[in-house]
């Protein structure tokens, strides 16, 4: 039986060597980094000069561990020489080899033929020799680096080979000379010099090439350069060549300060061979807190009307044919019993018109000046007061075609007095509102006037009841059920408004939310007359443990006591024909996540006049497990449109993820929007994802409709080498935007993107 002992090296006899069986020695580090501990089956040495260790040797100091069959250590020079199954463990990295010579304190020396593993990154490799300059700097020759295990032939699925690599952890930089990237035995990328980050932190350098293919531009090859200007500022400059159009450059600049943040981007083609001219796009988004003032700017501009067709994916806009440029300044004020906020807004629009499908522009506001306020709790006893007043200058933007609507000024003021009465489960809120507006136009209105005004009062009473009770357990959940009836009475007298300008009014969509609003219009320029009662009820099931809603069902209908004269038109515009129906369509609503793995929702609009469903929206999503989702949605607006949408992410073939070759999992992804009324696919997305464990391949084809007989089709291909980089065109944002429930194959659950995400070459 052997015993372990720990003895300081200074206690060894000075005159002769001493053999310790199953012993250990401790030496003070001359650099002051902490003691050096040496354990072995056999130890021998002379005082303060030399220690020889054999058998299961282990040397430790400040997070560095060296294991070997044999090791000699010289305390005066702090140098260790190890041979036979040498292993170094440090900062999560593991090195294995045959012979090591190392100055332990400053970690300088050399390692012959080591293999190395980085468990935190999931990568590994080998080199002919590694030279350590310090704890943060090293160089290696004839290096092979991969994130894959070796296959039966001894070669991993992907491997980065380099003649030499120099690593500087302080600068977060690695530089490889003579780098060649091999995938499945083929060299796919060769660079004389390659710079890369060591950690996930950002670092200046060239990013992997990006390739886009579409039917309008052909092949688009881009090689971006990332510039890490500062921890809170960075930029990307991407020269690119487009086979059909020519050379161009894209750029992006991001900044993040304690009181402001923003992003600016630009794209420029000096000469587009297809269009026969230069082309560009500009975008800027900025937000800033300056004292008590909040500032925002959001600008988007392009060179021509066809940009949205040729480069649609470059436009970060929900309305790619109407680009908004907007600036805002907002500041709160102390107004005694009122909390006041003043604001100034300037908004302009750029229209991208087409001959076959022209669009009508919204008005630009140059400027919009306003003040709004609300009373504090108890400032006016039981009453709540609020108001808003604005002065607007409305102008039609350029490129709006033969639009005869007038430009002009509008001042409006709106105020409300409410008396909330809450008695336990019962809530009753009587409310009196007044909405006044005055107009002055540059050209005559419909009736020939240049000046006009109107004042419209409204009385409403909103009453609701919220009851709840515990119910039985379903699917392992303790549930609580609610019953919530609601009544809304509205009385608004008729005021003639069809001769007034319409600067910003439009009809609200008729749904379960808008049915409980007093005005059938959004905006200021139209106030619907009303003498009506809206009645509805909803019931919900709530998880008693988490508070999450798992089921909701509701019904609502509106009853009119006289004809309504100020009515939205069927297309959502203003000034439709009078509404003589006394009973509105019936709205029904339901959604649930009660069934495990299922999310169901439905909304129906039933017309008593035709005894049929005039509008419906039905959706179902099935998610039985990670990376498995199927969803379908049916939309109907009778006489206008009928659409079916399908989306999915689903494993087509499962394999043993983690190997190379064809042993991984193949996923199908896609989204199809099919118009049943005209029997055509409007937008579609089809693709495959293959996860081999250490690499992922994605191929996605996307088709976007740009007109009745026009569409843009593009092909996106990406190769993700896990632990290294992504090559090709990135389809991930396209998949997230189009497939509800889509998850990245390497996405950590619960992670959120950072405000200034890291970009690494």
End position of a domain, from candidates 152, 168, 184:
168
CA distance 334 to 527: 31
Contact 746, 222 (CB under 8 A): no
582 & 618 share domain: no
Residue-wise pLDDT for 370-427, tens only, equals 999 999 888 898 999 999 999 999 999 877 767 789 999 999 999 999 999 999 899 9
CA distance 550 to 233: 44
CA angle 348, 350, 351 (to 5 degrees): 135
570 & 451 share domain: yes
Domain assignment present for residue 124? The answer is yes
Contact 237, 225 (CB under 8 A): yes
State residue 153's pLDDT score. Answer: 65
Please name the helix (run of DSSP H) or strand (run of DSSP E) that holds residue 484, with its range, or none.
strand 477-492
State residue 505's pLDDT score. Answer: 95
Domain assignment present for residue 271? The answer is no
Q: Beta strands 7-8 and 24-27: pairing type? A: parallel
CATH of the domain at 124: 2.60.450.10
| Closest to 13 measured CA to CA, from 54, 65, 63, 49 | 49
Contact 66, 78 (CB under 8 A): no
The conformation of residue 733, written as its DSSP 8-state character, comes to: H
**What are the E-state strand segments in 352-476?**
364-375, 384-395, 408-418, 421-423, 426-441, 451-465, 467-474
| Closest to 104 measured CA to CA, from 76, 142, 85, 145 | 76
689 & 576 share domain: no
685 & 731 share domain: yes
Q: Which residues contact 419 (CB under 8 A, 6 or more apart)?
A: 382, 383, 384, 429, 430, 431
Contact 674, 644 (CB under 8 A): yes
Domain assignment present for residue 295? The answer is no
Domain assignment present for residue 204? The answer is no
State residue 7's pLDDT score. Answer: 34
State residue 729's pLDDT score. Answer: 84
610 & 739 share domain: yes
End position of a domain, from candidates 594, 621, 642:
594
3-class SS at 114?
A: coil
Task: Give me the residues paired with residue 173 across strands.
Answer: 168
Contact 687, 703 (CB under 8 A): no
629 & 753 share domain: yes
Residue-wise pLDDT for 285-318, tens only, equals 999 999 999 999 999 999 999 998 888 766 667 7
419 & 449 share domain: yes
CA angle 22, 26, 30 (to 5 degrees): 155
420 φ, ψ (degrees, to nearest 5): -70, 130
Question: In the numeric block, which tokens belong to residue 56?
Answer: 């299961």
State residue 19's pLDDT score. Answer: 31
Tell which phi-psi region holds residue 98, choosing left (phi > 0), alpha (psi between -120 and 50) or beta.
Answer: alpha
Question: In the numeric block, which tokens belong to residue 368?
Answer: 């919009």
Domain assignment present for residue 289? The answer is no
589 & 639 share domain: no
Contact 695, 158 (CB under 8 A): yes
Please name the helix (run of DSSP H) or strand (run of DSSP E) that holds residue 8, with its range, or none.
strand 7-8
Domain assignment present for residue 34? The answer is yes
CA distance 364 to 381: 41
Q: Beta strands 506-507 and 521-522: pairing type? A: antiparallel
**What are the E-state strand segments in 303-397?**
322-335, 338-351, 364-375, 384-395
State residue 262's pLDDT score. Answer: 96
CA distance 612 to 639: 12
| Closest to 290 measured CA to CA, from 323, 319, 257 | 257
Domain assignment present for residue 43? The answer is yes
Task: Give me the residues paired with residue 289 across strands.
Answer: 294
CA distance 349 to 351: 6
State the DSSP string of 603-662.
EEEEETTTTEEEEEEEEEEEEEETTEEEEEEEEEETTTEEEEEEEEEEEEE---TTSSTT
584 & 611 share domain: no
3-class SS at 200?
A: coil
Contact 38, 59 (CB under 8 A): yes
Question: In the numeric block, which tokens belong to residue 476?
Answer: 């392992």
Domain assignment present for residue 272? The answer is no
CA distance 191 to 28: 47
CA distance 325 to 170: 43
Q: Which residues contact 526 (CB under 8 A, 6 or more apart)?
A: 497, 502, 505, 566, 568, 574, 575
Q: Which residues contact 110 (CB under 8 A, 6 or more apart)?
A: 100, 101, 102, 129, 130, 131, 132
State the DSSP string of 25-82.
EEE--TTSS--EEEE-SEEEEETTTEEEEEEEEEEEETTEEEEEEEEEEETTTTEEEE
The sign of the CA dihedral 686, 692, 693, 698 is: negative
State residue 210's pLDDT score. Answer: 85
| Closest to 598 measured CA to CA, from 547, 540, 550 | 550
Contact 667, 651 (CB under 8 A): yes
Cis peptide before 367 (omega within 30 of 0): yes
Task: Give me the residues paired with residue 223 across strands.
Answer: none
224-230 contacts at long range (C-beta below 8 A, 24 or more positions apart): 224/250, 226/202, 226/759, 226/760, 226/761, 228/202, 228/203, 228/204
35 & 59 share domain: yes
CA distance 354 to 441: 29
Q: How many domains does the chain have?
A: 3
CA distance 706 to 720: 31
514 & 627 share domain: no
End position of a domain, from candidates 561, 594, 627:
594
Task: Give me the residues paired with residue 484 across strands.
Answer: 538
3-class SS at 230?
A: strand
Question: In the numeric block, which tokens belong to residue 632?
Answer: 């379908």
543 & 682 share domain: no
Where in the sequence is the domain holding 544, given as residue range(s)?
404-594
Q: Which residues of the chain have pLDDT under 70?
A: 1-34, 47, 150-153, 197-200, 313-316, 401, 656-663, 707-708, 747-761
């Amino acid at each position: 039986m052997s015993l372990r002992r720990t003895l300081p090296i200074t206690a060894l006899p000075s005159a002769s060597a001493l053999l310790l069986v199953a012993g250990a020695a401790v030496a003070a580090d001359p650099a002051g980094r902490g003691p050096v501990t040496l354990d072995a089956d056999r130890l021998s040495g002379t005082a303060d000069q030399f220690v020889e260790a054999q058998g299961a040797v282990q040397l430790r100091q400040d997070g560095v561990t060296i294991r070997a069959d044999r090791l000699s250590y010289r305390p005066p020079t702090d140098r260790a020489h190890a041979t036979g199954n040498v292993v170094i463990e440090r900062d999560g990295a593991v090195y294995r080899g045959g012979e090591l010579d190392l100055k332990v304190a400053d970690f300088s020396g050399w390692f012959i033929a080591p293999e190395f593993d980085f468990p935190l990154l999931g990568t590994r490799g080998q080199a002919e020799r590694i030279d350590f300059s310090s704890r943060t700097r090293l160089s290696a020759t004839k290096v092979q680096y991969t994130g894959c295990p070796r296959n039966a032939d001894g070669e991993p699925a992907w491997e980065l080979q380099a003649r030499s690599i120099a690593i500087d952890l302080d600068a977060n930089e690695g530089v490889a000379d003579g780098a060649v990237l091999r995938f499945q035995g083929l060299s796919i990328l060769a660079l004389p010099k390659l710079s890369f980050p060591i950690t996930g932190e950002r670092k200046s350098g060239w990013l992997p090439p990006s390739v886009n293919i579409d039917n309008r531009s052909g092949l688009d090859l881009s090689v971006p350069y990332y510039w890490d200007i500062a921890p809170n500022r960075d930029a990307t400059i991407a020269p690119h060549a487009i086979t059909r159009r020519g050379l161009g450059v894209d750029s992006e600049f991001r900044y993040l300060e304690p009181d402001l943040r923003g992003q600016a981007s630009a794209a420029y083609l000096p000469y587009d061979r297809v269009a026969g001219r230069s082309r560009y796009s500009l975008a800027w988004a900025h937000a800033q807190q300056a004292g008590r003032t909040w500032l925002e700017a959001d600008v988007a501009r392009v060179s021509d009307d066809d940009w949205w067709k040729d480069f649609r994916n470059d436009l970060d806009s929900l309305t790619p044919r109407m680009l908004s440029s907007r600036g805002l300044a907002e500041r709160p004020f102390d107004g005694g019993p009122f909390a006041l906020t003043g604001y100034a807004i300037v908004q302009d629009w750029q229209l991208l018109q087409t001959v076959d499908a022209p669009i009508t522009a919204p008005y630009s506001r140059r400027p919009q000046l306003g003040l709004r306020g609300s009373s504090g709790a108890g400032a006016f006893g039981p009453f709540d007061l609020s108001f808003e007043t604005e002065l607007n200058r409305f102008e039609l933007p350029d490129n709006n075609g033969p639009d005869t609507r007038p430009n002009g000024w509008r001042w409006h003021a709106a105020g409300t007095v409410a008396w909330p009465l809450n008695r336990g489960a019962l809530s009753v809120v009587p409310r009196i509102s007044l909405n006044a507006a005055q107009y002055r136009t540059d050209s005559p209105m419909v009736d020939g006037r240049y000046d006009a005004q109107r004042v419209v009062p409204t009385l409403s009473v909103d009453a609701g009841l919220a009851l709840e009770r515990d119910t039985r357990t379903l699917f392992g959940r303790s549930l609580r059920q609610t019953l919530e009836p609601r009544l809304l009475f509205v009385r608004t007298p008729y005021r003639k408004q069809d001769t007034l300008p319409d600067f910003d009014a439009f009809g609200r969509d008729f749904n379960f939310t808008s049915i409980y609003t007093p005005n059938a219009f959004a905006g200021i320029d139209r106030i619907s007359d009303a003498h009506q009662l809206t009645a509805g009820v909803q019931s919900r099931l709530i998880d008693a443990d988490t508070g999450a809603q798992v089921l909701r069902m509701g019904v609502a209908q509106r009853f009119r006591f006289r004809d309504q004269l100020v009515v939205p038109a069927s297309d959502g515009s203003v000034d439709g024909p009078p509404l003589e129906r006394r009973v509105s369509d019936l709205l029904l609503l339901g959604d649930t996540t009660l069934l495990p793995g299922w999310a169901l929702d439905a909304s129906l609009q039933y017309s008593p006049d035709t005894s049929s469903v005039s509008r419906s929206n039905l959706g179902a999503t099935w998610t039985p497990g990670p990376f498995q989702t199927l969803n379908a949605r049916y939309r109907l607006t009778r006489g206008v449109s009928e659409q079916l949408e399908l989306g999915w992410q689903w494993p087509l073939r499962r394999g043993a993820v983690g190997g190379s070759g064809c042993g991984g999992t193949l996923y199908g992804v896609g989204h199809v929007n099919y118009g049943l009324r005209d029997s055509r696919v409007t937008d579609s997305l089809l693709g495959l994802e293959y996860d081999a464990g250490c690499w992922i391949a994605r191929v996605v084809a996307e088709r976007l409709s740009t007109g009745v007989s026009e569409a843009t089709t593009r092909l996106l291909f990406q190769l993700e080498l896990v632990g290294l980089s992504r090559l090709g065109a990135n389809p991930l944002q396209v998949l997230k935007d189009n497939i509800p429930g889509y998850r990245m194959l390497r996405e950590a659950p619960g992670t959120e993107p950072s405000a200034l995400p890291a970009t690494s070459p």
